[in-house]
Amino acid sequence: MRRFSLFVRVACAAVALAGPAQAAFAGGHLVYKFTLPPGGSKTIALPVVQAPVRLAASLSFETNGVVNSSELVSAVVNQDPAGQVTWVATNADGSRAAGSTPGATRVASFRSGGTAVTAAAGDGRTRGSLAFSQGASERGVPGTYWVVLTY
């Protein structure tokens, strides 16, 4: 019993010397809704946080007010202080992708031909970003995107 008591006191002293834990930020989310015509694109700046950002995006097409297809992609994205963007993603077809800038840029793909989410690195002065682009030949109708960034 004395050994255990001594162990507990030493462990508590070590924790006390390490200092209190601190939360980096409270967290938040950004929600975007936009429509892109075939061949269109929209760029969204990544939030300024030193933590992973979860991306959830949906794409739907409707004709005459009726949704005739809907797709989802998701990713966890991080931007380091130098502006490099790194990610792990799930594409709309269930396959996975990972990469980082510079070099790779495609974060995730919707099943609809040519429709993708790509990343651009910042340069230390500017933030990294995510671009949503809809294929030029995509069904001939606009796509509606819902994008949620949670951090």
3-class DSSP assignment, residue 14: helix
Residues in the chain: 151
Cα 38 from chain centre: 23
3-class DSSP assignment, residue 15: helix
CB 86 within 8 A of CB 75: no
Q: What are the extents of the domains in the chain?
A: 24-150
Q: Return per-residue pLDDT of the chain as tens, 151 residues.
A: 555 444 444 444 444 444 444 444 456 889 999 999 989 999 999 887 878 999 999 999 887 878 778 899 999 999 888 888 999 999 999 999 999 988 778 899 887 667 888 888 876 667 889 999 988 876 678 899 999 999 8
Q: What does the block give as tokens for 41?
A: 């694109």
Query: Is the peptide bond between 52 and the residue preceding it cis, with omega within 30 degrees of 0?
Result: no
- pTM of the shown model: 0.75
CB 75 within 8 A of CB 108: yes
CATH classification of 24-150 is 2.60.40, yes or no? Answer: yes
